[in-house]
Structure 1
Amino acid sequence: MNESWQQSLQARAVHRARVRGCLLGGALGDALGYPVEFSSLDRIRAAHGPRGVTGLVTGGADAPGRISDDTQMTLFTVEALRQAHSRERLKGIGGGAPRLVRWAYERWLETQRKPAPDPEFARTHPGPAGGLVTEAWLYSRRAPGNACLSGLATDFVPDPAAPLGPPGPVNPDSKGCGTVMRSAPFGLTGAPADRAFDLAARCAQTTHGHPTGYYAAGAFAALVAYVVEGESVEGAVLRTLRLLAAHPGHQETSAALGRALDLAAEGDPSAEKVERLGAGWIAEEALAIGVYAALAAPRVEDALLLAVNHSGDSDSTGSVCGNIVGARYGDVGLPHDWVERVEGRDRIAALADDFAAECARR
């Protein structure tokens, strides 16, 4: 076996570990935060002690490790991007990713409307055979975002040639974090960061038309792409800021990332500092909190807990942080005793492996 082949195999193994880490890390952060979403920091500490949540906990009748709509939509994004890559590779048909992503979100919407898989829907819908829409464990409504639900009532697919910057036609005033929490997969395909940014931003417009909503999604995808390339989290944020600066209307997203960098540089991470960045309900705040936690905490476990122990959208900020640290350190860098308890862990890992293998094919 020659040296170049060995290097190629090693690069593929590293990419596979980062894809696995990103998707499993996001699911873990989601599962850590889901039981305390909507709770104030005071209530979290009253229920779980002065340090807040220190591991996977129950949420009402739910068992520990349950994922929310954040991971559900992320997985459907992966399914669509894998389908788009395969279609371009085998048939030479490119440019269809926005439509395939929109159809994937339609399949996710089916899981929010029905109690169990409908064989007729699976048979007639243009999704992959035996795909996620056939899996019963995903048929659970876990506090989906209103803009995601209402936005998918309109069959809008953005024009890849249209300029970014103006508000989109679907929910033009909405910049909820539903754009960010599903967008890590755009950074996992091996495409350059600027292309990941563009595709994630455009696909975010299917549900959220506010420029900050879709720029935050694009920025997150670019950040993940840089980290997967081997960049440090801080370096990835700085490069993402340079990418953002070229787009009109980027200021809110750029300012939020700048605040995360500055706050992390202060040291002494704390929940109180997290709350200086906001609550995470809107896109730029969720991105900033996830980035701050990934930058400020010394260990992966600490970063994930920092990302969820605050007043606000704890599952989304935990998911964003988990995507980042998972992409940075790979699946071997995640706390395995926590990962083993995450709902759908085996399916998520298998989907990640299939996605990484497909993206490695040219």
Structure 2
Amino acid sequence: MNEPRQLSWETTAVYRARVRGCLLGGAVGDALGYPVEFDSLDRIRAVHGPRGVSDLVPGADGVAGLVSDDTQMTLFSAEGLRQAHERERLKGIGGGWSRMVRWAYERWLHTQQASGPGAGGPDRTAAGTYQGPRGGLVDEAWLYARRAPGNACLSGLARDFVPSPSAELGPPGPVNPDSKGCGAVMRAAPFGLTRAGAAEAFRTAALCAQTTHGHPTGYYPAGALAAIVSYLVTGDSVEGAVLRTLRLLARHPGHEETTAALARAVDLAAEGGPDAGKVERLGAGWVAEEALAIGVYCALAAHRVEDALLLAVNHSGDSDSTGSVCGNILGTRHGDHGLPHAWVERVEGRARIAALADDLAAECVRG
């Protein structure tokens, strides 16, 4: 998936911090938004005060810091990519990333169908016989919580479609061809962490998004988020990463809705004065291009990480997905040390998320 590179200790440390920041930042944004995901802005302010959510708050189950399917699927994306890199390094078998990621998503699907680790095992899924690696995330009991998984993700993974690694992008995909919900973009950030380059990150994320979302505005935002993350890993600014990603998008047929949404986010951020009203001018985040645009706008418009994450979740819409996207972006830009530590320490699965991030970074550095 990428060529071996020699990195200095300092460069490696920065890279590891960005990978950690991406996964932990996404989890923090997700946990901030999950309790208010289906609430209107008026409802959020009525319950949490005129500023809305300003901290991790309990959801319906009375626990603060819980993550949703957004973080769950992001972690399985990262695990599948790590396994693909490991297979290539140890066995010299390249080009298997689409199958490895697909198997990872089947393991996530198993967690949504079983009561816990060992309950039936991952041998059988709705798509048929599972033949991939076992262990890892599928053994984590906390990941078996069912936190409003998307219908397109569930129905898409019930079909055994694996994109060809050499396939060309072009509308529409064969699975859920009319679906452009945010279930693909919210899990796509890890594709940008592999150091394969932004163009390849865009392509692999978009192709893997087609396993569940066939509409080009369902899978291009996934590619775009992966490309933004890839540019940030190399040290680009958020604005620079977004502008370069817009140029990548323009190469692909059917990109117009995604491009227009991202361009609106950039223009709106340039106006200054970030507020919830401007967030809602970009939509509610239920569809992929809106979730991406809101996450990008908040990352650009607010100067402090805390303020950007709170801006991303205080709106009438898919607050956990927009918070997650914003957290992925800012966590990559600033590294895990740039995230609000009081929130990171309280987020569900923090230690396991950090360990997975370190495993992915180490595997990509090796090769």
Whether these two folds match at TM > 0.5 is: yes
Which position in structure 2 is the counterpart of 1:230?
235
User: Among 339, 347, 356, which residue is 1:351 paired with?
Assistant: 356
Structure 1 position 165, deviation (Å): 1.6
Q: Is 1:80 equivalent to 2:80 in the alignment?
A: yes
Equivalent in the alignment of 1:64: 64
Deviates more, 1:318-327 or 1:112-121: 112-121
- 1:255 & 1:163 partners in 2: Cα distance? 22
Number of the residue aligned with 2:127: none
In 2, are the aligned partners of 1:216 and 1:253 still within 8 Å (CA)? yes
Give 1:53's aligned residue.
53
**2:42 is paired with a residue of what secondary structure?**
helix
Deviation at 1:6, TM superposition (A): 11
1:115-130 alignment, distance < 5 Å: 115-118=115-118, 121-122=121-122, 125-130=130-135
Determine the C-alpha separation between the residues in 2 that align with 1:247 and 1:106.
29
Please say if 1:263 is aligned against 2:279: no
C-alpha deviation, 1:164, in angstroms:
1.1
Q: Aligned residue for 1:289?
A: 294
Give the match for residue 150 of structure 1: 155
Q: Is 1:184 aligned with 2:174?
A: no
Q: Say whether 1:173 aligns with 2:178.
A: yes
1:309 aligns with 2:314: yes
User: Could you tell me the percent identity over the aligned residues?
Assistant: 77
Counterpart in the other structure of 1:109: 109
The answer to whether the 8 Å contact 1:199/1:218 transfers is yes
* Structure 1 residue ranges, 4+ long, deviating more than 4 angstroms after superposition: 122-125
Give the deviation of 1:7 after TM superposition: 6.5
Determine the C-alpha separation between the residues in 2 that align with 1:304 and 1:173: 30
* Alignment: residue pair count: 358
Contact 1:22 1:331 (C-alpha < 8 Å) held by counterparts:
yes
Number of the residue aligned with 1:99:
99
Q: Which amino acid aligns with 1:341?
A: R
SS in 1 for 2:277: helix
Could you say what secondary structure the match of 2:260 adopts? helix
TM-score, normalized by length of structure 2? 0.95
Q: Match for residue 132 of structure 1?
A: 137
For 1:277, give the aligned amino acid: L
1:267, CA displacement in angstroms? Answer: 0.3
Asked if 1:335 corresponds to 2:340, the answer is yes
3-state SS in 1 of match to 2:186: coil
Q: Is the 8 A contact 1:119 1:134 kept in 2?
A: no
CA, structure 1 residues 178+7, in 2 after alignment: closer, same or farther (shift >3 Å)?
Answer: closer
Conserved? CA contact 2:110–2:122, under 8 Å: no
The one-letter amino acid of 1:141's match is R
Q: Distance in 2 between matches of 1:7 and 1:158?
A: 32
User: Structure 1 pair 123/179, CA: closer, same or farther in 2 (3 Å)?
Assistant: closer
Q: CA RMSD in A?
A: 1.4
Distance of 1:11 and 1:279 partners within structure 2 = 38
Q: State the shift of 1:129 in Å.
A: 4.2
